[in-house]
C-alpha cells in the first residue's frame, strides 16, 4: 500500500483549503443547511433510522447535525455532506 501524501504548499487542495476563510466555511454550511431543510423529509423517509435528535439543527451548528447523521448511518460526515449536496 502506498504512503499517504502529506499536504504541502504546492498541493492544489492545500492551496484551496488555505485560501478559504472562516466565513467561507460558514457560508458552505449555511448553503448545506438550506438544502437540508429542502430535502429533510425525503431523506428521512429513505433513511428511517434517523431520529429527530439526529436531524435537529441548532443555529450555526449544522456540522454537528452532519456528525450525528453520519454516526447513525455508519458513514463519514463528508459522505453525508455529499449525499445532501447531490440529492
Q: What confidence score (pLDDT) does residue 60 get?
A: 86
Of 16-20, 34-38, 61-65, 74-78, the poorest mean pLDDT is in 16-20
Exposure of 44 in the CB half-sphere (CA atoms within 13 A): 13
Residue that has been written with the C-alpha cell 429533510 in this structure: 40
Question: Does the model's pTM come out above 0.75?
Answer: no
Q: What are phi and psi of 41, to 5 degrees?
A: -60, -45
Amino acid at each position: 500500500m502506498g504512503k499517504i501524501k502529506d499536504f504541502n504548499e504546492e498541493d492544489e487542495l492545500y492551496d484551496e483549503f488555505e485560501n478559504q476563510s472562516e466565513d467561507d466555511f460558514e457560508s458552505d454550511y449555511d448553503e448545506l443547511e438550506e438544502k437540508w431543510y429542502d430535502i429533510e423529509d425525503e431523506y428521512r423517509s429513505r433513511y428511517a433510522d434517523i431520529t429527530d435528535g439526529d436531524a435537529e439543527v441548532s443555529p450555526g451548528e449544522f456540522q454537528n447535525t452532519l456528525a450525528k447523521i453520519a454516526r447513525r448511518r455508519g458513514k463519514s460526515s463528508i459522505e453525508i455532506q455529499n449525499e445532501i449536496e447531490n440529492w
